[in-house]
Amino acid sequence: MAIMKQTANALAGLISDLDLRLLRVFKTVVECGGFAAAEVELNISRSAISRYMADLETRLHMHLCYRGRSGFALTAQGRVVYESLMQLQADLEKFRANINAVHNRLVGKLHLGLTDNTITDPHSQVPSVIAKLKQLGPDVQIVMQTTSPNEIERALIEGRLHIGIIPCHQELPGLVYQPLYWETSYLYCAQGHALFALEEQQLEPSLLAQHDYVSPGYKPDAHLLELQALLKTAAHAYQMEGIATLILSGMFIGFLPGHYARQWEERGLMRVLLPDQFNFKTSFTAVWRDEAQPNQLREACLNELRQTYGIESNSAF
């Protein structure tokens, strides 16, 4: 009779603090894309990280990742462990939120996602909202992530962020979008560009169309699409700093928010081009995942946003 080989049960018994520490190291390595970047993030040596990973693989009886000259990559088992770990983190956040509600006090971590280079916008009241939230809950920890709108929406859907504040170019199912304020962008060139020294009356759309234009990497709205159809796209950039860098090279024209470009305008390094014709407005919105499970910390932040921007109580908030 054939005897079936039994596999040892991984994580037999209770999950210990050591197990959680090993899992946190694993999560950081995955999100950093390898041991080298995780070394900086964790502030421990690469050899220590390697040892922790080996200990975790032994504990789980699994091979979690490939590492070596070819680079870092998760195995199929490693992907399952990472996805399960993200679900565990979400469940712990829900547990913390429920306990907070019982005690009616704000504690825990608020994971907030922002688009880059909005700090110079006078309409952005995020610092004020954070200050009010900290007054309500001095023990609240803020985890801020600054990245592209697409990545913020992805993190919201996956439960890695509680709230995002992004320019709204689309609305994805499963997310709630609440408009907060408008941002106006204009077309710019920089010192050294052929258009920079021309008089205003010499500028016209047909002339602008002859010069290389840098297009935003995100999906544009209808108005921006109309304007871009008049221009010669020769480059793409996914963040404002990338667009500004290409404009400052003197080789491209491109759209920037007026508040962001002002720092170079005032120093004579940029100029606006036909602002009455080449401008568009973008709605900045608060975004969060549409779910039945309440989260006291998220709701408190949304309430502060509502009060700060004077949004009626019968809105999406």
Q: Where are the beta strands (DSSP E) in the chain?
A: 65-66, 73-74, 109-114, 141-146, 163-167, 175-190, 212-216, 232-237, 253-257, 270-272, 279-289
The mean pLDDT value for 101-119 works out to 82
* CATH class of residue range 90-180+283-309: alpha beta
Alpha-carbon gap, residue 30 to 73, rounded angstroms: 8
Radius of gyration of the chain (CA): 25
What are the tokens at 19? 């197990």
Fold matches, 90-180+283-309 and 182-282? yes
Does 6 score more than 50 pLDDT?
A: no
Q: What is the pLDDT of residue 9?
A: 61
Helix (H), strand (E) at residue 262: helix 258-265
Q: What is the pLDDT of residue 192?
A: 95
- Structural domain spans, the chain: 17-85, 90-180+283-309, 182-282
Number of Cβ within 10 Å of residue 108's Cβ equals 20
Alpha-carbon gap, residue 2 to 80, rounded angstroms: 31
Q: Can you name the CATH fold of 17-85? A: Arc Repressor Mutant, subunit A (1.10.10)
Does 244 score more than 90 pLDDT?
A: yes
The predicted-structure confidence for 273-299, as pLDDT tens digits, reads as follows 999 999 999 999 999 998 867 788 899
Does 247 score more than 70 pLDDT?
A: yes
Strands 279-289 and 175-190: antiparallel
Q: What is the pLDDT of residue 66?
A: 87
**Average pLDDT for the chain:** 87
Q: What is the pLDDT of residue 76?
A: 92
Q: What is the pLDDT of residue 8?
A: 54
SS3 213: strand
User: For tokens 């408009």, what's the residue?
Assistant: 179
The mean pLDDT value for 310-316 works out to 63
Q: CA dihedral in degrees (115, 124, 145, 128; nearest 10)?
A: 180
What are the tokens at 18? 């050591």
Q: What is the pLDDT of residue 13?
A: 59
Provide, rounded to the nearest whole percent, the portion of the chain with pLDDT above 70. 92
Does 3 score more than 60 pLDDT?
A: no
Provide, rounded to the nearest whole percent, the portion of the chain with pLDDT above 90. 52
Residue 12: pLDDT band (50, 70, 90) is: low
* CATH class of residue range 182-282: alpha beta
Alpha-carbon gap, residue 163 to 101, rounded angstroms: 19
Number of Cβ within 10 Å of residue 127's Cβ equals 9
> What are 66's strand-pairing partners?
73
Query: What Cα–Cα distance (Å) separates residue 23 from each residue in 19, 54, 188?
Result: 6, 12, 48
The predicted-structure confidence for 167-205, as pLDDT tens digits, reads as follows 887 788 999 999 999 999 999 999 999 999 999 899 999
pTM value is 0.64
The mean pLDDT value for 26-40 works out to 89
Q: What is the pLDDT of residue 168?
A: 85
Buried b (16+ CB within 10 A) or exposed e, 59-91: bbebebbeeeeeebebeeebeebbeebeeeeee
Q: What is the pLDDT of residue 40?
A: 86
SS3 231: coil
Lowest-pLDDT range of 20-29, 87-96, 211-220, 241-250: 87-96
Q: Are 188 and 271 in contact (CB under 8 A)?
A: yes
Q: Please list, in sequence order, all residues whose beta carbon lies within 8 angstroms of the beta carbon of residue 97, skipping any fewer than 6 positions away.
A: 108, 293, 294, 295, 296, 297, 298
Helix (H), strand (E) at residue 5: none
What are the tokens at 130? 């954070």
Lowest-pLDDT range of 101-110, 217-226, 242-251, 301-310: 101-110
Q: What is the pLDDT of residue 5?
A: 45
